[in-house]
Amino acid sequence: MSSTKEELEEFVEEMKQHKARHTELITVYVPEGFDINLITKQLESEKSTCTNIKSTTTRKNVQDALESLIRITKGMRKAPENGIVLFAGNVSKTEGQDNFITEAFEPPEGLNVRLYRCDQIFVLEPLEEMLEVKELYGLAVIDRKEAALGLLIGKKIKVLQKFDSFVPGKTHKGGQSAQRFGRIREGLAKEFFRKVAEAMKKQFFNMKNLKGILVGGPGPTKEDFLKEGNLVTALQDKVLGVKDIGYADEHGLDLLVECSGDILAEQEIIYEKKILEKFFDMLGKQKDKTVYGAKDVEKALGFGAVETILLSKKLKKPDIKKFEKKASETGVKVELVSIDTEEGQQFWNLGGVGGMLRFKIQ
């Protein structure tokens, strides 16, 4: 069963504490949908090659770690829905003593990383990325033959739906038959546009944290779609950019994100500026509904008074994690802000920690 984000955070913090005396801790990442039998074969292959390790103790520890993971993978019919991460090794801090651990962890969202590593520490970076606040952007690519909808989650693209239009190509005949055929083609194209627009409504209309929508495709079809597809006004208003790309399939979604870097970067800055402008406005007009500085924010969190906590990305990572953990315990929204803007630098000068309150505190 896949974990919650809170469980993931606790697990990552626990695994960070472990360090081996030698290169003998095994980390295995199995991505979603991957054949678990191939992982078993890889582990068995690694077990046969680790006989070359010179140190008897290290060799035995690596072999034992691999055997424990092979038992896990052999006992699985297939990888879990979101993939799985496997850890094993002797984490004893004392030479010659055993403190052997084996962990199989199912993450709260799909893994797209395949990895095998034998090191002194466990590899945790892909799991830590899942703990970062992720922005959601809707993606739509379309031409008259096909279309695809996707979602940009942080840096990962998730394909939501694919469509084939069945709109016929142009006829080479002339006269009235060509005109009639042209009208039929236009009617089928508009019907296809409306079908895709309706799917976009179902996917994106009530989606929380959706920052905006990017639209792309070859030629003028994408503009025709926005004009003729009867896309609801609320979604029209969320369209941040329209990009000319050569594909309207899964590859088109990748290209759309690649060529929209300027828009995404600008949106992040705009979003940060709005949050900080609100904070500074409240600081001036409703001073008793704001706090700043680590000590005062911690006090307000203890009272359960904080609605939104702002943390500068320039803070040390352990400090960010500490505040995020406290915030999650009381349902407080966390906003990470950079120092790339004048407001962000001003916020950092205040200490890099601030809060907007639900109610006044003494």
Angstrom distance (rounded) from CA 168 to CA 298: 64
- pLDDT of 146 reads 93
Separation between Cα atoms, residue 268 and residue 309, nearest integer Å: 17
Residue 122: is it exposed, middle or buried by C-beta count within 10 angstroms (0-12/13-18/19+)? buried
Residues of the chain with pLDDT under 70: 1-2, 133-134, 167-178, 181-182, 362
Q: CA-to-CA distance for 151 and 298, rounded, in angstroms?
A: 35
Helix, strand, coil shares, percent, the chain, to 5: 45, 25, 30
- Return the pLDDT at 208: 76
* CATH number of this structure's domain 136-259: 3.30.420.60
What angle is formed at CA 60 by the lines to CA 59 and CA 64, rounded to 5 degrees? Answer: 120
Mention the CATH class of domain 270-357. alpha beta
Residue 297 to residue 308: CA distance in whole angstroms: 11
In the prediction, which pLDDT does 242 show? 95
Q: Report the pLDDT value the prediction gives residue 342, as an integer from 0 to 100.
A: 86
Quote the crossing angle between the two packed helices 261-285 and 342-349, to the nearest 10°.
50
Look at residues 255, 240, 226, 229 and name the one whose alpha carbon lies nearest to residue 150.
255
What pLDDT, on a 0 to 100 scale, did the predictor assign at position 2? Answer: 66
Tokens encoding 271: 């979003």
**What pLDDT score does 329 carry?**
81
CATH code for residues 5-131 = 3.30.960.10
* DSSP of 51-70: GG-S-HHHHHHHHHHHHHHH
The overall pTM is greater than 0.75: no
Look at residue 266 in the predicted model and tell me its pLDDT. 82
Locate 320 and state its tokens: 């960010």
Domain boundaries, the chain: 5-131, 136-259, 270-357
